[in-house]
Homo-oligomer: A and B are copies of this chain.
Amino acid sequence: MSSQVTIWVDGRPDSNLPLPDRGLNFGDGLFETILLRQCSPLFPDQHFTRLQRGIQALGLPDCLARVQHDFESFLQALRKGEVTPWGVIRIVVSRGGGPRGYAPPVKPRPRVVIEYSPLDYDCGEMGAPARLGIASVRWSTQPALAGIKHCNRLEQVLAAHEALRADLDDMVMLSQDGHVVSVTAGNLFIVRDGSLITPELQGYGIAGTRRQLALSRWMPALGLGVQIANITPEEITAASEVFYTNSIVGVRPVAAIGNMSWHTYPVCTMLFRQYLGDLS
C-alpha cells in the first residue's frame, strides 16, 4: 500500500518524520483530505478555510501560506509523473517538535506532511448505497474542538474498526446523549416529510467541506430547504431517505443502518448531479 503513496515532509520528498514530534505524541495537529481530479484539487478554498480555523483553535503559529506553498509544489511535482484520473492528498500539519510534556513550545515550528494516494475507482460516479451499522463508541462532547479536523481521531478509528469487523461500509456515530451525529468519515443528512435535516455540530463532529457546499450551494440551487437539528435514531426510522457527504464520495446514498433499509435515493441523486456540475 505505502509503495503507492508519495510523501513529502516540509516541502521535500521524504517518508520520515523527524522525532520528537507532537503530532505523534499527542495528536497535536490538523489534517485535510483533498480530492484530486487529473491532479487538480477540488474545492481547495473550503479545505484551507477549515484548516485556518483549526490553526486558530489549536493556537498554532500562522502557517497557512507555507502549507499552501508546499501543497502547490507537491502538485507541480505530481503532474510531472503519471496523471491518474482520481487521487487524494492528505495534508497533516503537526505542531512539530518540542520539549517533553503537554505544554507547547514557546515558538513551535509546525511540520507539514503531504501524502498522495491514487484512487482506483471513478469518483464521478455516485457511490453504491452504503450499508451501515450504529457504532458502540460515541462522539465525546468537546466544544473547544468541535467542527475542526484535528488529529485526535481515536473515536472514529474505533468505530471504523467496528465497521471492518462487521463487514459494513461505515458506522453511524451517536453523541453521548444518543443523538445521531455522523458516519466515521462523513456528515449525515436525512429526508423526512419532504424536508432535509442534518445534525448540528456545536459540541462534536467535523464540519465537512461537502456538508458546507451542500448547505450553501447544492441544496439552495435545487430549492431544497434544510434544517440543522438534533436527530435521534428513531427519527431515522421515519426518514424516506438517508445519505452522507464527504470529500471523496461527494454525496453517497445509504441503503441500510442495521435493520432499517432504503431502496430509492431521489434527493441524493439530484444532489450528486449538482455536485458533479460544480466539479466542471
Chain A residues with a Cβ under 8 A of chain B: 1-2, 5, 7, 9, 15-29, 31, 58-59, 88, 90, 92, 94-95, 97-106, 113, 115, 117, 136-138, 140-142, 144-145, 150-161, 163-164, 176, 184-185
Cβ B19 vs Cβ A102 within 8 A: no
Among residues of B, the one whose C-beta sits closest to the C-beta of A175 is B141
Cβ A158 vs Cβ B99 within 8 A: no
Note all chain B residues with C-beta closer than 8 A to A142. 138, 140, 155, 176
Note all chain B residues with C-beta closer than 8 A to A101. 160, 185
Query: Known contacts being A1-B98, A137-B144, A141-B140, is A104 close to B161, with CB within 8 Å?
Result: yes
Note all chain B residues with C-beta closer than 8 A to A18. 15-16
Note all chain B residues with C-beta closer than 8 A to A163. 103
Most central of A115, A154, A158, A164 by chain B CB within 10 Å: A154
Cβ B154 vs Cβ A150 within 8 A: yes
Note all chain B residues with C-beta closer than 8 A to A185. 101-102
Instruction: Give the complex CA separation of A99 and B138 in angstroms.
Output: 24
Note all chain B residues with C-beta closer than 8 A to A105. 1
Query: Known contacts being A17-B16, A158-B59, is A27 close to B151, with CB within 8 Å?
Result: yes
Among residues of B, the one whose C-beta sits closest to the C-beta of A142 is B140
Q: In the complex, which of the residues B98, B138, B153 contacts A26, with contact meaning CB atoms closer than 8 Å? A: B153
